[in-house]
Every structure is written in C-alpha cells, then in structure tokens.
Amino acid sequence: MISAEQLAHFRENGWVVVEGVFTADEADEIAAIALEVSHTVANTRDDGYYLDRSEDGQVWPRKIDYPFSRHPAFRKFVLDPRLRDILKRLTGDEPLLCTDQIFLKPPRFGSAKPYHQDNFYFQCTPSDHVITAWIALDDVDEENGCLRYISGSHRNGILPHREMPGESYNLAPDPADIDMSREALAPVRKGGVVFHHSETLHTSHRNTSDRWRRGYATHWVTADVVSESGVLDNACFKHDDYRELIAPTVSTENR
C-alpha cells in the first residue's frame, strides 16, 4: 500500500500522500455521517467554536472533536487494517489510535487553519513515533483548502506558538520563523490519506470553491510514547473495547 519512494518521501519531507487507501464510496459514507453528527456538535458548543457558515446561512462547527466516541461507523473506519498497515510501515511498530477530529470546510466559507505543529499540543516523546493520518473525505485541492506543509520542518524542533488575534482556539508560530520557500501543497482525492510527522509544520487555507472539504484527522502513537500534556490519558486505544475493534474478523461460514 505504501511504496519505498513514498516511505523515503515521508522520511525526507515529514509528510506523504498515499492515494486510494479507502474507496470513494467509503469516504462518501463517512462524510455524510460527519455532516449529521456536526449538527449535534453545532447545537452544543459555544459561539467561539462556530466559525463557518454555508451560503444558505447554516452554521457549521469548524471541527468535530473525538468522532471515535460519537459513532460506530467512525470507529470501524479509522481502525481499518489498510490504514494501520501503512502506519506500521512508517514507525516500524504497532500504531495505536490516540485521538481524532473531523475538519469541516463548507463551500466558500470554510475558514483557514494557521501553520502549527501537532506535537506543540501533544508534547509527546519520541516525536518520530507520533503520526497524523489525514483521510480525505472529499477530493481536496488548492481551491477547497488542501493541506500545505513546510517540507523538512519535522527535523527542526518545536517552535513557540502564540494565540492568533481574535482566534483563541488557534495557536501559531511567528510567520518570520517559517521558511515559506519550503512550502508544498498536498492535494489528494477522496479516500486518499496524507500522513505527517508530529513536528511537521502544516496549514490549510480557506475553502474558496463551491465544494465541501472534509478531512478526518487521526493521530497515532506507538506503545513507547509518553506525553507531558495528558493527551494519552483518554486515548482511544485505552477504550475498553479497542482490542476487540482491531481484532481480525473470523468468518464462521467455512467452519
């Protein structure tokens, strides 16, 4: 599922696109459930969270936190062996799902996410064993807000992050500390996955298209990872039924 070239790209640049991990139909199904679930989230969050509106005036949460806990279809989707096999190739060890989020950018209104490093929040060691797998639920390109990376930034350590003016939920490094000459775009078709190292600088721009841009971000660790932030305390892999969920299904038909 992941070639030697793709592995080398990940090691060199701190990110890589792998197309076709899931089918387009599988992505469509999860995208539709994400919209249903987002209505519940929109009704239970405070105002600061509602950044995005669609043309018809509907308000959408910028993201759904912990989708793993919100719907059985999400659990099955993110623990799929096709995804876990690639993660195992990237770290050399069994991947464990730590936490997850679904980012929603409605047509023409989806807001930007500033440059940041995931491990600024997670504070995990060793950082090489912490990887984000961002699953495209729509075809994603420059227009609707694909991920953008600073290639090689995973080798330069964590930059200080500060609150963005008027956006207390977004912390970002000083733009002067970001080498924009190394910026690369990561367009991907629905069902494809973009993998990034926990210390790779990444961002996404506004959705200026008339299409949705939904992305399911899953954050993975290996068993040796420790954290100073508490992110592991309620990790998905600590749920009672996690082992059962990743167990291979044995067919009883031919017994």
Helix %, strand %, coil % for the chain, to 5?
30, 30, 40
End-to-end CA distance of the chain: 30
Pick the closer one to ligand AKG by CB: 26 or 118: 118
List the one residue from 60, 77, 134, 220 that touches ligand AKG (CB under 6 A): 134
List the one residue from 10, 68, 77, 103 that touches ligand AKG (CB under 6 A): 103
Q: Verify binding: residue 138, ligand AKG, rule CB under 6 A.
A: no
If one counts every other C-beta atom within 10 angstroms of the C-beta of residue 65, the result is 15
Residue 29 beta carbon to ligand AKG: minimum distance, rounded to whole angstroms: 19
Site for ligand AKG in 185-214 (CB under 6 A): 202, 204
List the one residue from 9, 84, 113, 197 that touches ligand AKG (CB under 6 A): 113
Residue 215 beta carbon to ligand AKG: minimum distance, rounded to whole angstroms: 4
Q: Verify binding: residue 131, ligand AKG, rule CB under 6 A.
A: no
Residue 225 Cα distances to 85, 122, 127, 228, 235, angstroms: 19, 11, 8, 10, 12
Q: Residues in the site for ligand AKG, rule: CB under 6 A?
A: 103, 113, 118, 132, 134, 202, 204, 215, 217
